[in-house]
Amino acid sequence: MKRFEDLGLSEETIEALRQKGFEEPTPIQISTIPAILRGKKDIVGQAQTGTGKTAAFGLPMIELLQERVKNVQALILTPTRELAIQVSEEINSLKGNKRLSIIPVYGGQSMELQLKSLKKGVDIVAGTPGRIMDHLRRRTLKIDEITFLVLDEADEMLNMGFIDDVVEIMGYTPKDKRTMLFSATMPDEIMEIARKHMREYELFRVTKGQLTVSQTDQIYFEVSEADKFEALCRIIDIEDDFYGLVFCRTKVDVDKVTGHLIERGYDADGLHGDMSQAHREKILGRFKKRLSNILVATDVAARGIDVHDLTHVINYSLPQDPESYVHRIGRTGRAGKEGNAITFITPSEYKKLQFIQQKSKAPIRKAKLPKVKDVIESKKQRIISDLEDIIEASPAPEYLRMSGELLEENEPHEILAALLQYSFQDELDEKSYTEIEDAVVDTKGKTRLFVTQGRQDGLTREKLIDFVKDKCGCGIVSGKIRDIQILEKFSFVTLPFNEAEIILAHFKKKKRGTGPFITKAKEKKGGR
């Protein structure tokens, strides 16, 4: 296994990495750091969120940039203001004692504040294309002497319509700069930028097999929609020091879950796209300082957030696709530490979880939720541990005086029991938890099938069951054939996933004839 010491970094930078708790480099860091340090070629790197790409370009940049230079030496373009802030903070935390100034520049922040910072002189600017273009047109930012240009999450800039701005910005830069392009995917439009606007470059890819974090324990729990919040509380309460991100699908869900957590006394905040930038920065600041230990967010709002030492990432809502799953769980289990990725699924979502597991090659194991008595026992042990710490540190004199007064007329064990009851009665009451019923999940999910005949063809429920059983020859029992709808011109039937796959495979080999033909029913569009 490669170490940071093997990549050609200085001892000062290695010490900064030690201070942050980084122990082993990621694959993209192993590939790109030596290439940037030793060579003069441009760099194209394919890497997802969670693979350490900021350090992959930031560390060698810190090594190679000069101190006390009056002009901007490096420009980093990012698709979102959140990512601009995160990149700026990350590089600032990695620079150690090196005298380099880094600022984020983005829309929504005071232009006057940015102008003031730029006038003082900065070495590295991390910004969004729109605001960078504003400064270039005002001539308040000069990038004609930069040494490095970084295009971070280039595919996102393409998706958000920023590519024309990116190309225009590149026209303001010197020809002899080094360009580093990082992207989760490599569509033709991105590679066209590399071919047209970059010099000779080296291409590095992190394969999909490397995208999931090997040190993350990946678990799923089967729960009904109504029991998800109760399940979340149990996961938080069973842990000694929970510090995690909770992902929801919509901003309405974020507000709802955050509100319920706060009502129960948790230090939680919510993050979604409808919030002002100032509010979002305040919430992120609280979370990074651990003034709140639970951050509930949508995928869009969490884009670019890079918080270290998370104990958990919880998929309160199942991600839309395998890539989103990888992005989410990549935020825990970093810097050589173990993390936990937990996913809640309802009975109807099992098939989708299978798809995510198959495509991401993620070892997601099934587990049972903690029982109420186990959660209470865990809380008791934490209380005992906390009290022992206070005793070891010596209680304050005023409390010692109070204890002396109580001991004059009461037994010590009775006083202690009364204090525990007074302080923790509600917290240790099993009635404060709602029972969670086991969700009945078919081991393979269910599939809705479309049948090309209906009542006008003489099709009945019994005939359809016989047809499925007898004509397909796949040993299906009647009890598994459910939700049959015989309509005028066509019909529907629901089967367990495994049996449905057998039937669909049977009909793929057949041509449409005079009898019924079965295909997979199209899903209804709409919803959230």
Question: What CATH number does the domain containing 307 carry?
Answer: 3.40.50.300
Cα distance between residue 50 and residue 313, in whole Å: 12
Q: Are residues 159 and 281 in the same domain?
A: no
Q: Are residues 39 and 187 in the same domain?
A: yes
Does the structure show a pLDDT above 90 at 96? no
Q: Are residues 206 and 94 in the same domain?
A: yes
Q: Are residues 464 and 477 in the same domain?
A: yes
pLDDT for 150 equals 97
Cα distance between residue 520 and residue 493, in whole Å: 10
Note whether residue 440 is domain-resident. no
Using the 3D structure, point to which of 370, 388, 419 is the last residue of a domain: 370
Residue 221 β-bridge partners: 344
Q: At a CB cut-off of 8 Å and minimum separation 6, what does 471 contact?
A: 515
Cα distance between residue 197 and residue 179, in whole Å: 9
Q: At a CB cut-off of 8 Å and minimum separation 6, what does 377 contact?
A: none
- Mean pLDDT of the residues in the chain: 84
Q: Are residues 233 and 186 in the same domain?
A: no
pLDDT band for position 338 (cuts 50, 70, 90): confident
Parent domain of 424: 373-432
127, two tokens: 């910004």
Does the structure show a pLDDT above 50 at 459? yes
Q: Are residues 163 and 242 in the same domain?
A: no
291, two tokens: 């003034």
Note whether residue 320 is domain-resident. yes
Q: DSSP 3-state helix, strand, coil percentages of the chain (rounded to 5)?
A: 45, 15, 40
pLDDT band for position 494 (cuts 50, 70, 90): confident
Q: What single-letter amino acid sits at 41?
A: K
Q: Are residues 182 and 80 in the same domain?
A: yes
22, two tokens: 């980084």
pLDDT single digits (tens) 76-95: 999 888 889 889 988 998 99
Does the structure show a pLDDT above 80 at 484? yes
Q: Are residues 53 and 118 in the same domain?
A: yes
Q: Are residues 90 and 108 in the same domain?
A: yes
Q: Are residues 33 and 153 in the same domain?
A: yes
Q: At a CB cut-off of 8 Å and minimum separation 6, what does 389 contact?
A: none
The dihedral built from the CA positions of residue 142, 143, 147 and 149, taken in this order, carries a sign that is positive
- Please give, one letter per residue, the 3-state secondary structure of 302-326: HCCCCCCCCCEEEECCCCCCHHHHH
Using the 3D structure, point to which of 408, 432, 456 is the last residue of a domain: 432
Note whether residue 87 is domain-resident. yes
User: Which domain CATH number covers 465?
Assistant: 3.30.70.330
Note whether residue 441 is domain-resident. no
pLDDT single digits (tens) 119-160: 999 999 999 999 999 999 999 999 999 999 999 989 888 878
Q: Are residues 86 and 41 in the same domain?
A: yes
pLDDT single digits (tens) 105-130: 998 888 989 999 999 999 999 999 99
Q: Are residues 95 and 197 in the same domain?
A: yes
Note whether residue 526 is domain-resident. no
Using the 3D structure, point to which of 386, 408, 432 is the last residue of a domain: 432
pLDDT single digits (tens) 180-209: 999 888 888 899 999 999 999 999 987 554
Average pLDDT score over residue span 493-518: 73
Count Cα atoms within 13 angstroms, Cβ side, for 193.
Answer: 28
Classify 505 as helix, strand or coil: helix
pLDDT band for position 523 (cuts 50, 70, 90): low
Do 79 and 128 form a contact (C-beta atoms < 8 A)?
yes
pLDDT band for position 69 (cuts 50, 70, 90): confident
Task: Give the predicted TM-score (pTM) of the model.
Answer: 0.51
pLDDT for 525 equals 42
Cα distance between residue 76 and residue 150, in whole Å: 5
pLDDT single digits (tens) 396-422: 888 889 999 899 889 998 988 998 888
Note whether residue 358 is domain-resident. yes
Note whether residue 528 is domain-resident. no
Query: What is the tally of structural domains in the chain?
Result: 4
pLDDT band for position 440 (cuts 50, 70, 90): low
Note whether residue 494 is domain-resident. yes
Which residue is associated with the tokens 């929504």?
Answer: 108
